[in-house]
Each structure stands twice: as C-alpha cells, then as structure tokens.
Structure 1
Amino acid sequence: MRNGGRGRWIVVEKAATHNLRDVCVEIPKEALTVFTGVSGSGKSSLALDTVAAEAQRLVNDSYPSFVRNRLPHTAQPDVQRIDGLTFTVLIDQRRFTGNARSTVATATDIAPLLRLVFSRVGEPSAGYSPAYSFNDPSGMCPDCEGLGVVQDVDLDALLDLDRTIDEGPVRFPAFRPGTYRWKRFAYSGLFDRSKPLRDYTEQEMRDFLFADQMKLPDPDPRFPKTAKFDGVVTRLRDVYIRNPPRSKSRETEEAMHRVITTQTCPLCKGARLSQAALASLIGGRSIADWMALSVDRLHDLLADLRDPRVAPALSEARRRLEALRSVGLGYLTLDRVSSTLSGGEAQRVKIIRYLGSPLSSVTYVFDEPSSGLHPHDVRRLTELLLRLRDAANTVLVVEHHPQVIALADHIIDLGPAAGRQGGQILFEGTSAELLRTDTPTARALREPLAPRATIRPDHGHVMIRNARAHNLRGFDVAVPLRRLTVVTGVAGSGKSSLVTCELPEQHRDFVVVGQDPLQGGGRSTPLSQLGLAEQVRRIFAAESGLAPAWYSFNSKGACPVCRGRGFITTELAFLDDVFTPCDVCEGSRFNPQALATRVNGATIADVLDSPPATLVELFADHADIVARLGWMERVGLGYLTVGQPMDTMSGGEKQRLLLAKHLGEVGGGRDQRIILDEPTTGLHGTDVDRLLTLFDELVDDGATLVVVEHDLRVVAHADHVIDIGPGAGDAGGRVVFQGTPADLAVDRDSFTGQALAQAFHLSPV
C-alpha cells in the first residue's frame, strides 16, 4: 500500500469478478478516475460490480437484520481484498420502473415543495399539502384515481354477438371455450349456452357482462360450490385494468391492447388532481399548470415569485430546478412520467439529488453518464463531475467519451480485448500519459476525425410531411434512400420524435431497432433471441434420439437440483441470500442425460458457453446457424457467449443483439430500411469503427440506414446529416441543417456543427 494508506487510496487486490483476471489496482481518493477500455473489457466489472457492490454490501451489513432484510441484496464480488472504501452511491443507467404515479417532480422531490407552496399561498386553498397530490386520496381526481386517464372495456372489440357460449363469444384468451373463466359463465346456470348473445334479454346481457359477486340461484353442479359469479367485464376490470398481471403472454398483451381502451380523464382533463386542487391558483396558474411547464420556464416563473410564508420551499425548489438545468434537462416537464425517460435522462435525474449535498468523502460511481448526450451537453456533465470531486468526494466514472477522459485526474484502462480476452489493467495514469501508449483506447483517442470523403450517389428519397410529434414544429424533411443518414441534435431537440415516431408512422417499411428492452431475463440467452435455440436442440436430438426438450435447461434437460439455473440460492432469513454454483451440474444447468450427448465433440453446455466464432466452426454444415451467428459477430458481440443470461447484458448490447436478430431474419441489408436509435451506446471508439464498417456493408448492399446519434465518429461518417434543434424542448423541434458532414462543420448556427468543427480542427469562421 502506498504512503498515506486507506486515507488516500481505494485498494483492490485480486479482483476476479466476471472476466477480471486477478486485478490489483489502487484508486486515488478525492479525485476523478475514469475507467476506459473496449466494450466488454471489464470496466463495469471493476468499478460497478466490485468496488461499488462491495461498498454497498458492507454498508448494508452495518444495519440491523430487520432493516437489512428490506434492503436490496448485493452479491459479494469475487475479490480477495478491498480496503479504503467509503460510503458509495451508484448512479447507473437503469430506467425508472413502469409506475405511472412516478413523475420527474416526484423523482426529484420537487413535488412536495410545490405542494407546500400551494397549500400556504394558493387561493382558494384546497387544504394541506396532500390535497395537492394525485397520489393521495384527498388530492387525486376521483374518476381516474390520480392517473389522468381512464381505462375501460370496448364491448364491440370484446364480443362476437353472433356466437353462443359454446362457440366462444368473448374475444379474449382467458375466456376461450374450455378455459377456467369460460367454465364460470358456462356452468353458472344463468344462460342458454346454445343462444347467440344477440338474442339475450337486457337482464341476461347485464348479468353476463356486469354481474358482481352474484349468488347463483341454480348453478350447474360443475360450478364451484362456494364461488360467486362475476360478469365478463367485471372480471376484466378487476384482473386486467385495476390489477394488471406483471407477466403475461404476448397473446394476452395483444388482446388487452385490442379490447381495453385508454382515454384522457374527462373530469380532470388529464391533470390527475381533484377539482379543489385545480381551482387553487397562484398568479392565475394551478399546480397542474406549474407541473406542465418545462423546467426552464418554471425556473423563470419562480425566480419572480417572492413570499416570506414559503420562502424556504421556493428557494429549495429553485435550487433543484437549477440542478436539472445544469445537467441538460431543462426541456423536461415536471409531469413527465419517469418511466418514459431514457437511461441517460434517468441517470441525470438521479444525479441532481446529490448536487449541493453537505456530505463529503463520498464515493460516486457513474456508469457511462455521457450516454445520450450531445457534445454540447457533455460540457455540462463534466462540470458536474468536477463539482462533486471538488466537494472532497471520490468520483469513479466508466466512460468512453473523449471529453470526459481528457478531464480525468486518473485513468485506468482495461483490455486488451473483450470478454475472455479482456480483464487486465493495460494502463494507469493521466490522460496525457495515456496518449503516449499503444492501448486500443490511446489509438482511438489519437485517431484524427475527418468528414466522409465520398458521398454515395442519389437514389431518391422519402418525405416526412408535417412532422408534429411531441415538440416538432410541423416541418417537412427528405430522408435519402440507400444512404447512411444520421439525425443529430442536443438531447431533447426532437431527433427521436422525428425518426422513431414520424418516419415509421408515415413509411411503414422502415423498421425501428431501438432501445426497448428485449424480452427475457435470466433464462433467456442470445441463442434463443436469435431464434437458434430450438434448431440447436433439434441437432442434438437427432444425434441422441431424444426429444429436443432434453436439451433445454428450461425443460426436461434441466438439472434437477438447481432447476436449470446453474446455482443454488440459500435463503438465510434476515441475512443476505447466498448464491453458490450447483455442485451437481457444476453450473452447466443441465442434467447428466442431456450432457451425455455430444455433437462434434461438444455438449449442449459447451455450446452455450461458447462465443459465436466457435459455434460457426462447430455447426459449419448448418447454413442458417452460421449466418445468424455471423451477424452477432459483425455487430460487435463476438465476445459474448451465446448462453449468457439476458439480464446480465447492457442496454447497448441488447440493442446490437436486436439488430443482429433483425438482419438474421431478413438475410442482410438488401432493400432493408432500418432505423437505429443511438446504436453506439456503451461502445468504445474501436467498436464504433467496427459498427460503421457494418453500416457501410449494409448500405452498399442496398439498405437505407437512418441513425439517431450523438457520436461524432458516426456523424462524420454519414452521407447525409439532419440536425434538429437548435435547443431542447420548446427551443427545439426545427430542422437546423440538412447536408453533408463537411458542410455541417462550417455551420456555426448548429451546436453539432460547432462540435464537428472542433473535432475536425477547423478554424472558427
């Protein structure tokens, strides 16, 4: 240990979490340390899954067992020793949960301050603070219960009036003939099962649809003896509207979209609040009006509001609004549902909780905070990181962005490659020292950026007409065909609204490969997402004569002890759960009978533990498998094993896997029209170059690519750039520039142009 000991350094000895190879490193305290390296090199494994995870685990262990059992459980990282840890805050890019009652105002704790202001100053007063909350019975709209929308069942979509009960008149999976729900009204004794619904009397139809816990006078003996009867609509409202299931099949989800309507609440007009709360005004505006303003506009409004009765609350509200502006979120409205924020926006909302905190000697760990940020906004981010550091805190950042790397006090570069070829420390030192090395990060930082030399020829275009989604101002814009078009602009300018809303809506042949999470958790893998799992099982089944289900760890092939999970969970009541590798299957997840079969010398467990390149050789005689795994390699995911659980993959990895899945299904780029929403999320510069090579191959093969992106490497490589802005929210929504990257770099009215000019080392005009 260096002189100064644990007071100056966080010391990590022999960390082996995930792909780390017994890493030993010393991280300086009260400094900004950036962890760099190619995607999958082990940056997050070291900073997040080792340092942050162990710090949080130790803090949780300090609480009484009663409290500890109610805190998130963090697994102990694979490390021999960590010393010098302090209280640690992890600010990652996980989106907020899908709770419709959480908004930007509630997530930032601005809502309670504004409620307090209105309860003291609003005229006429609606009462105490809860009377202004849509999450409290005293303040919520009684019709929509504070949700702003009302949902109900569309009877025309739900019922086929020409069918009898035996024929299945309800167009919903849970009410098909033979199902549990169908048996309830079939055996109720209330209805003639051979009579079409159209011929029901008014009372029969009322009972069929709206009966609520009706005691049956003469039910069929097959009807449960102690049960009461609910109508179809009553049951749908209870099970699928008031308490929707957390997990549901795709068929059920599609049926819900078809038969359940959602409308703005006619009473509160979507404001969520009671009439008394909406009638209480300050300066002619209600609290709902305040929430509907952008952060920038509300900040300006409160700047002119002075009232000694609520001065402390106003002061703190202004401080928090200023914090939102400082991280580039001034365009958000406070009533925006938090689950609709992107990962980058969610991370920045979390950050503001700690700005101005009186705590010091805290370790803040950030996971790629520049994700989703325009270069113009990254400057604000770096100022924020430096403010946290200068308040006597330790700031650890996993990052690829050159602007953030350049400001680091200390850099830890991992590699040399991804996955099993990574996990080693390549460099420690300053950014200037890093540039003199030959690591992949240093080479990427030194590589000069230049605009595309040759623009592809004109092959026509499609028009987006009268674009008005969200903040767009009703403009027309041309999108070239068989070219690489990049759509840029500051965060919140309207890029995604134009490309992922308007373009596919007006031109249905464009397919969006966005940031929506792939379905599947710990039991879903890249192999299953690519549609290859069943094909591989059939190959093993043909070799053994067993059914394909024997080669699935979710079916007959599962290890009987761990049930196909690969590990055993030991619950210790008030202590943390303990996860240990399964001794029977040794983590393979399969039972002995499944593992007894070999194809070209490999078991099914060997297949799942292999990267795509290995399987291309193993299944060389199967063209479809080779082709689809080849796309996984080409999108830059060759370092993953095909059996890696989906819940361990980053958002950027999932998006590239989705792209590989799409290309595998359509067989390549010919005549494809693909929209990509920030595909470089989480990518190192060398990985971005690899992705651009793939883009070139697809476009040269006849594809049209439209990419929403901030990365200047991608912008410089485009045939055509559409810049939206100039600002965010109300200050954006217009076309600032259309043309080539070279022309954009000399357009000083565009923030993107200014950033490109700096990257191209052009003199100011």
Structure 2
Amino acid sequence: MTELSHGEATQSPETPAIQLRGVRVHNLKNIDLDLPLQQLVTVCGVSGSGKTSLAFDTLYAEGQRRYLETLSPAARQFIHQLPKPDADRITRIPPTVALKQNAGRRAATGKTLEPNVGIESGVQNYLRLLFSTLGEVICSNCQIPVKPQSPESVLTFIHSLPEQTRFQICFPLGSVFDRPTDKLLAELIQQGLTRAIIDHQSCKLDEMGNNSSITNNCLIVLDRLSTRKADDQRILESLELAFTESAGTATLLVEQPPASQPKDTPFLVDEQEWYRCDFFSSLTCTRCQESYLKPEPQLFNFYSQMGACPVCRGTGTDPQSGELSCRSCQGSRLNSTARAVRIADLNIDELGAQAIPQINSWLSHLDSTPTATSLVREITNRLQTLEDLGIGYLSLNRGRSTLSSGEQQRIALTAVLSSNLVNTLYILDEPSSGLHPADSQRVISILQQLRDLNNSLVIVEHDPEFIRASDHIIELGPGAGRVGGELVFQGSILEMQDATDSPTSRFLNSTHSNDFGSLSGKQASGSITLTGCTTNNLQNISVTFPLGQLCIVTGISGSGKSSLVEQTLFPSLIRALAEEPISDLGTVYESISGTDQIDEVILLDQSLIGQTPRSIPATYLNLFDEIRSIFAQTADARLRNLTAKDFSFNSKNGGRCPECKGTGFIEIDLQFLADLTMECQSCHGERYQRELLEIKYRKLSIADVLKMTVDEAFPFFRGQASLQKKLKQLKDVGLGYIPLGQPLPSLSGGECQRLKLAAYLTTSSRKRTLFLMNEPSRGLHPLDIQYLLNCFEYLLTAGHSLILIEHNLQLIRIADHIIDLGPAAGEQGGQIVATGTPTEVAQHPDSLTGAALQKLNSGF
C-alpha cells in the first residue's frame, strides 16, 4: 500500500474500526479515516501537523462528550452540553481514557503540596484503604497496641489474672464542678451505688454529708470480687454499667500487678497498694491515656486536615528553616495519629520509604481479610507495572520534583495503564518522552499487553522504535499549521517503507554513516569540574564539563542525570557566581572549579511557565503589547476611543469577555472526573466582547490574530520589524506551529523549554553564558530537530556553552562531548560509565548509550 489522498481509508468494511468522516478540527482538512480497534495505532507527523487535533481534540473530546451523555439527568443538570468536534460523522468510538504529556505537570507554588510517586501512580489511595482496614494503632509513647475495649475484652483480661486475685470494678466520675454535691450524691444513691474512692480513701456514699467534698479524682465502686469464685455474668453486667455511666471508661483495681502493668505505679486505697487498669471503649492507650483517631483513609492523607502534620501542614519541611525536615513529623508529612497506625511493624510512611520490590515482599507476607486481599491485589498490580516500566527502584514517598522527566512520564503511565479496563480506547501523548532508548522496549511491551486485553491504543509519537512497533500508522502533514492537516499515509510499517511522500518514511529509511559528527567542530574553551557529588543517588563522583562545546549528559532514566545537572551543577554555579554569599541550596558536593570562565548560568527546564490559561506565548515574549498597540492605532479603534489597554484580556477594565474573564473557556469541577473544559458560551472562545472583535487590522480581529500560528503571523506582520524579530526566534527554536494565543499550561515540557530559549534569544546578547537544558528535543519530530541545532550553533558561535540532558540519538550522535551515567538506575546508578566523543562512547562495552549509538549506525 502507498500513500493516500484525503478521503481514502484502508480498512475493509469487515475490520472493526472507529470511522471518522469529514474531520475539520483546527487545521485538519476534512479528512476521512478508519482507526482499527484493538490495535496499537501511532499518529505521527511533523510538529504542528494536526496529531493532537486528531487524537485529543477529536477522538478524546468525542469520547468524553458521549460519556457525559450517559450520566443521569440529575448529574447532567450541572454540565452544559459539550460541543461536538467539527466532523461529519464519528462512529464506533469506545469509552476513552487519555494521558497528555503535561497531565502530571503541576505548577509549583507556595500554596500547593508536592505529590509523590504513590499519589501520582494511584498506589497511595489503595494503601490508605489497606491501613484503614488492617491497621493497628500502636501507642507512640508506650509502644503497646491501642484497641477499643468492651465488657467482653475486659473479662478476658480478668481471666488472665492469677488465681485468688481480688479486684474491684469501678468507673471514674468525671467532671463534678458543674453539679452541687448534694444533688450528685442523690443521683448516685438513687442508682443503687453505695461506695466510692475519693482521693485514695474509700467511703460510703450514704454516710457522706452535704458538706463533704467530691473531687474529680473519684472512682465509683460497682463491685468487689475475686478470681477464685468469679461470676462471669455478674462481671459483665458491672462492666457494662461502668462503660455506660462513665461514657466509655471502666477501671479495675487489682490486688496483684498484671504482667502488662508497670510494677512501680501502685494505686493506694486506704494506704493499701492496688494496681489500677483503665479500659476505654475509644482508641485510648490503657497505660498513658493518649487518645487516637479511628483509622480511615483521610487519616493517611497529608492533603487532608485530618492527616496532615499540624506543624508543617503536610509539606514535610520545617516552616522556620525551609529545606530542613519538619521537627514534628520528621518529614513524613503526617500527624502522630496517622504514624501510630501500623501493619506488620510498619506505618504508611515507613512503608512508602522502601523500594518497590521490598513493598511487594511485605505485601506477600500479610495475613489479610477477603476485603484486604482485593486491595493487596490492586496495589501489587500497580507496583508490578512500575517495575515492568523500569522504575521499581523508586520509593513511593519520593517527591515529584526530584524525578526525571522519564520517571514522571512512566509514573503517569502507571496510573492510566493499571486501571484494568477492557474494550477501552487509550489515547497517549508521546509515551516515549523522557525515555532512554534502552528503556523504550519496556514501555512498548506494556502497551502491547494492554492492547492484548482487547483495548485500542492511539499514541501520538515521533520515536522510531514506537512507530516500528505499531500495528497501524497514520501520518498527518505534510507540513505544519495551514500546510498540514492532511492524511499523508495510513497503513503498516512495511507499507510505510514504500511511501514516497511520507516525511516520516524518509527519516525512517535514512541511513547514517559510521562517522559521528561534532556540532561545534572546535576544541573546548575551558572546563568546569565538580568533585565529590553525592546528591540523591550520585555515588561520590567527580565530573569535568567542557565549555564552548555541546556537552550532553546521557544515561537511562534514574541514572542520576537530573541529580547531576539540575540539582548539583546548577545550584553550585549559582552559589559560586553570586556576588554575596547565599544559604545552602541542598546539593552535596566537595568542590567546584572553573567558574571564573563563565559570567552566568541559565537553566532552561521543562517546568510550567504559565500559571493561568491567560498566559500565552504572545504575552510571555512581550509580543502582545505591540499587537494591542497596532489594533489601538486603527481608524476604527481611534474613532471609538479604544486604547491598547482595551485589547487586553488580562485587565478587568479592558474589553475581555466578562463570563470567562478572557480565557475563552469555562472550567467545570466534576469532582468524580477530571475537570471539564468547555468553550465559553458567551464569547464562543473568542475571549473578547463583541465591540472589540469589530475592530479589524488587515481584515482580522485580535481574536483571529491570536488563533494564528507563529509561522502564519510572521508574514502577516510584515513591516513590523520588532514583532517579526521575536516571531523569528520562535520559528528558529521549532515553535512555528504553535498559535500565538495557546494557553501556556497546555504546552509540553519540551515546548516550554524551547519557549524559554526563544525568550532568551530575543534579548540583548550576553557573554560567556552556560545554558543547561533538559531534553530540549522533547516533542519534536525528527525532521524538526534541525531547528534546534541551528539555535545551538548560533549560541556556540557566540561564545556560549551548552550542557544538555538528552535521550535523542540524533542530538547525542553530534555532541562534542558525552558524559554517560549509569550503569543502571536508582542505587545501581549514579556512576560515570563513559565519557568522550560519540565514537568513544559507542565503543565502550558497558555503555547502554554506546550500544544505542551502534544500533543507530547499523540502521536500527
């Protein structure tokens, strides 16, 4: 089969498939296609070709809309009718689950609590249920079990006493200061009670006068017995009365100390030694009388007020000292009551600190109830998925900010893939993201297992291994934006090899010479050396980073790349370059040298750069101020006395839509589902009031301009030199396909990073800058990588230096210097496996990166 034109579909009528006809979402050009069900389908194409429009804005949007239509009328009354994707017909779409590349990424603010691996993977919810079901409260003071007592359990205790032991059954009177003595005595006598112990002296109630004093230190005696001739029924009745009259407390005075009672605390009655044992129907320690809450799921949730440490409020850090562990919870983020609940000698925090294989072993030895057995099965399945994905070395307590992008991606995959659904459509955005080539097969295997459970998978991908492993391939293009959105190819990998008009096919069929290149082609201008690095899993390594070259740090996920570059090198350079001494930044290393050879260091990471949907590329690069000024200078705008401020959707006094406050959509919290985003019914996604939309510049409104891609806006603003300069920088970093008004929180990690790079390139030139970047190629089609290389060449030519964390072999093979970490992940990583040129690393026998480079040159 060869490439197809717009409307052709390859599946026969008998093949079960999702049928899409006349799809016109965003830049999709009225395409028709059939997506085979119960297969692994890859959607590929150059960046901006329409892949997300097809996978998420069409398939997932329609699946979500149809699901909401199945809800009861009572539930639907709070939800507006979701608009249908712009298509003639979509049929046979199954229930749909989606995972976007930025789904697990949250902006870090001072008001939010950082999630951990357990939460992100979905394991923590089941652990909370398990500890609620099987957990036993162990007093943190006395280290003894704390259980609610009953007359029957106290009777069992009495049976354990030595023979001929005398004992008295009592109950504490409680607070007496709110009742007059005469009335209190009358009430007690009327109930048939005759004896009391007040301030360690026994007395008869009917012999006490109105002038007598009854203090809070008072026990009412119900019965005096001996184990030699104990009547169980009589004991039970007395104990029942004691629990009832005291609102949950029964007291035994025992002549001889029981084995569980400390022998140095006798209770004197009429100067005779007795031993007092208190029993509580609530969770109260019988020895120190510390009270505990009944275990329930929210008790083990540091996002909940019930479970969070009251000192650090669930952050785990000392409020007064920043990075130091909280002095109250020792970094566990939970209060003392939650930490007191244990199963098999571990509380939930101690369990979460262990590696996943240890947790699996712990679970396998539990004696559990039928209810708990199902919980253990769910937990084990998710833990096994984490192990299968190659991140079993992680602990569940590990904070999300300490994870590499590859680890984050696979944890998010675990949450989606462990749902055990069947006959479901899974839509995934670049599951290869953040993966070393050596890790790719793990994820591919999991996806194929999911497919074999009669599920359908649609993945948006650029990675050659994932494309080759697909059952069916759909390529959109041939270009980005308005020159994309067409169905370029549909078929198998064997059929793609013969597709002459497929850009992806040209890349897959390309051959590489055995000689590796060098981006800068020059010697290093200097170097920076770190010694004794022990951050996270780094094993006391010393590393030399060349300057003036493209240096790439490689290694499988979890090998220590982010620990070395982002968490050690960057903070140490910040400290060294600071004009004034700054406090400890949390890294662990012995020394750093060579910092006098750079003037500044810039970390371009993948963190979110927009906190609200009103943050867009045009505002981030200060393009929007100029665009608003252009519209304010039009004749229609001057006639209506409109200023640039009126064209701002961030200003309350501007012309933004009052319903959506300038975002163009409304977010609905469904509580039982992910938040639902709907187009604003007032402005229909235009962001502005009608008066502002009537103002046109070159026949387009300001809303029309925000919908334009960077590539489209560049010629549109001809004659605007300042605007075009900034737009060109976006094109140069490979972001020509993104719309000017796309909400920044919707960008992928790689897009965020390249946008930060473009912002730097638009500013005045700086000298001797060291750029640190984490996977800048993320989200780019192989044919778009050249945009990035052009930027790197520009920076290196200007005298700057680049250190990248990368998995992309296209970039690694043209590095000037490689630092390969490993050999494995977690505790088995954190060592330097190989350093040198790509040729030297490829020849190293123990380097997984070297093996991948050799495989690349052999044509995969």
Q: Same fold (TM over 0.5)?
A: yes
Cα distance in 2 between the residues matched to 1:660 and 1:129: 52
What is residue 469 of structure 1 aligned with on the other side? Answer: 535
Q: Does the aligned pair in 2 maintain the 1:504–1:510 contact within 8 Å?
A: yes
Secondary structure in 2 aligned to 1:466? strand
Cα distance in 2 between the residues matched to 1:69 and 1:678: 44
Pair 713,731 (structure 1): closer, same or farther in 2 beyond 3 Å? same
What is residue 663 of structure 1 aligned with on the other side? Answer: 761
Secondary structure in 1 aligned to 2:422? coil
Match of 1:95 among 104, 108, 126: 104
Mapped pair 1:267 → 2:328: yes
Could you tell which deviates more after superposition, 26-35 or 445-454? 445-454
Q: Does the aligned pair in 2 maintain the 1:112–1:129 contact within 8 Å?
A: no
Match of 2:837 among 714, 727, 740: 740
What is residue 691 of structure 1 aligned with on the other side? Answer: 788
Cα distance in 1 between the residues matched to 2:665 and 2:419: 41
Cα distance in 2 between the residues matched to 1:697 and 1:17: 37
* Structure 1 residues 495-514: aligned runs within 5 Å: 495-508=561-574, 509-514=600-605
CA-to-partner distance for each residue in 1:528-548, whole Å, 9 max, x for gaps? 211232234445556666643
Larger % of helix: which? 1
* Structure 1 residues 37-76: aligned runs within 5 Å: 37-68=45-76, 75-76=83-84
Match of 1:326 among 388, 400, 405: 388
What is residue 127 of structure 2 aligned with on the other side? Answer: 111
Q: Does the aligned pair in 1 maintain the 2:127–2:348 contact within 8 Å?
A: no
Residue 263 (structure 1) shift: 4.7
What is residue 688 of structure 2 aligned with on the other side? Answer: 589
Secondary structure in 2 aligned to 1:348? helix
Residue 349 (structure 1) shift: 2.8
Q: Which amino acid aligns with 2:688?
A: R
Cα distance in 2 between the residues matched to 1:308 and 1:551: 64
CA-to-partner distance for each residue in 1:24-74, whole Å, 9 max, x for gaps? 110111111111111111111111211122112111210113334678986
Residue 288 (structure 1) shift: 2.2
What is residue 645 of structure 2 aligned with on the other side? Answer: 549
Mapped pair 1:390 → 2:448: no
What is residue 436 of structure 1 aligned with on the other side? Answer: 498
Could you tell which deviates more after superposition, 55-64 or 442-451? 442-451
Q: Does the aligned pair in 1 maintain the 2:614–2:663 contact within 8 Å?
A: no
Q: Does the aligned pair in 2 maintain the 1:38–1:684 contact within 8 Å?
A: yes
Cα distance in 2 between the residues matched to 1:743 and 1:514: 28
Could you tell which deviates more after superposition, 465-474 or 682-691? 465-474
What is residue 457 of structure 1 aligned with on the other side? Answer: 523
TM-score (norm 1): 0.76
Pair 460,420 (structure 1): closer, same or farther in 2 beyond 3 Å? same
Cα distance in 2 between the residues matched to 1:543 and 1:27: 48
What is residue 214 of structure 1 aligned with on the other side? Answer: none
Identity %: 33
Q: Does the aligned pair in 1 maintain the 2:295–2:341 contact within 8 Å?
A: no
Q: Does the aligned pair in 2 maintain the 1:6–1:84 contact within 8 Å?
A: no
Q: Which amino acid aligns with 2:117?
A: V
Cα distance in 2 between the residues matched to 1:383 and 1:519: 35
List runs of 5+ in structure 1 lacking aligned partners.
153-259
Secondary structure in 2 aligned to 1:637? coil
Q: Does the aligned pair in 1 maintain the 2:616–2:744 contact within 8 Å?
A: yes
Residue 655 (structure 1) shift: 2.2
What is residue 732 of structure 2 aligned with on the other side? Answer: 634
CA-to-partner distance for each residue in 1:669-727, whole Å, 9 max, x for gaps? 75332111111111111112331232123212322111111111111111111112222
What is residue 550 of structure 2 aligned with on the other side? Answer: 484
What is residue 624 of structure 2 aligned with on the other side? Answer: 533
Residue 277 (structure 1) shift: 5.3
Mapped pair 1:673 → 2:770: yes
Q: Does the aligned pair in 1 maintain the 2:105–2:608 contact within 8 Å?
A: no
Q: Which amino acid aligns with 2:814?
A: H
Residue 620 (structure 1) shift: 5.6
Cα distance in 1 between the residues matched to 2:540 and 2:454: 48
Secondary structure in 1 aligned to 2:566? helix
Q: Which amino acid aligns with 1:361?
A: N
List runs of 5+ in structure 2 lacking aligned partners.
1-8, 148-293, 575-599
Residue 110 (structure 1) shift: 4.4
Q: Which amino acid aligns with 1:26?
A: D
What is residue 559 of structure 2 aligned with on the other side? Answer: 493
What is residue 133 of structure 1 aligned with on the other side? Answer: 300
Residue 289 (structure 1) shift: 2.1
Q: Does the aligned pair in 2 maintain the 1:88–1:364 contact within 8 Å?
A: yes
Match of 1:26 among 9, 34, 49: 34
Pair 471,340 (structure 1): closer, same or farther in 2 beyond 3 Å? closer
What is residue 86 of structure 1 aligned with on the other side? Answer: 94
Residue 275 (structure 1) shift: 4.2
Secondary structure in 1 aligned to 2:135? helix
Could you tell which deviates more after superposition, 41-50 or 352-361? 352-361
Residue 140 (structure 1) shift: 5.1
Q: Does the aligned pair in 2 maintain the 1:96–1:341 contact within 8 Å?
A: no
Pair 416,101 (structure 1): closer, same or farther in 2 beyond 3 Å? closer
* Structure 1 residues 707-718: aligned runs within 5 Å: 707-718=804-815
What is residue 519 of structure 1 aligned with on the other side? Answer: 610
Mapped pair 1:149 → 2:297: no
Q: Does the aligned pair in 2 maintain the 1:268–1:274 contact within 8 Å?
A: yes
Pair 414,736 (structure 1): closer, same or farther in 2 beyond 3 Å? same
Cα distance in 2 between the residues matched to 1:264 and 1:363: 43
Secondary structure in 2 aligned to 1:507? helix
Secondary structure in 1 aligned to 2:727? helix
Could you tell which deviates more after superposition, 344-353 or 713-722? 344-353
Q: Does the aligned pair in 2 maintain the 1:672–1:704 contact within 8 Å?
A: yes
What is residue 405 of structure 1 aligned with on the other side? Answer: 467
CA-to-partner distance for each residue in 1:73-110, whole Å, 9 max, x for gaps? 86532222111111111122311656527433243244
Pair 126,558 (structure 1): closer, same or farther in 2 beyond 3 Å? farther
Secondary structure in 2 aligned to 1:151? coil
* Structure 1 residues 194-205: aligned runs within 5 Å: none
What is residue 798 of structure 2 aligned with on the other side? Answer: 701
Q: Which amino acid aligns with 1:328?
A: G
What is residue 646 of structure 1 aligned with on the other side? Answer: 744
Match of 1:295 among 332, 337, 356: 356
Secondary structure in 1 aligned to 2:536? coil
What is residue 171 of structure 2 aligned with on the other side? Answer: none
Q: Does the aligned pair in 2 maintain the 1:114–1:317 contact within 8 Å?
A: no
Pair 372,72 (structure 1): closer, same or farther in 2 beyond 3 Å? farther
Root-mean-square deviation (CA, aligned residues, Å) is: 3.8
Pair 335,563 (structure 1): closer, same or farther in 2 beyond 3 Å? closer
Cα distance in 2 between the residues matched to 1:577 and 1:279: 41
Q: Which amino acid aligns with 1:510?
A: V
Could you tell which deviates more after superposition, 751-760 or 713-722? 751-760
Q: Which amino acid aligns with 2:734?
A: G
Mapped pair 1:414 → 2:476: yes
CA-to-partner distance for each residue in 1:326-347, whole Å, 9 max, x for gaps? 1122132111245765665445
Residue 627 (structure 1) shift: 2.5
CA-to-partner distance for each residue in 1:535-589, whole Å, 9 max, x for gaps? 3444555666664324434446626687884968799x99x99746868x99483
Secondary structure in 2 aligned to 1:755? helix
Q: Does the aligned pair in 2 maintain the 1:113–1:317 contact within 8 Å?
A: no
Cα distance in 2 between the residues matched to 1:722 and 1:570: 45
Residue 473 (structure 1) shift: 2.1
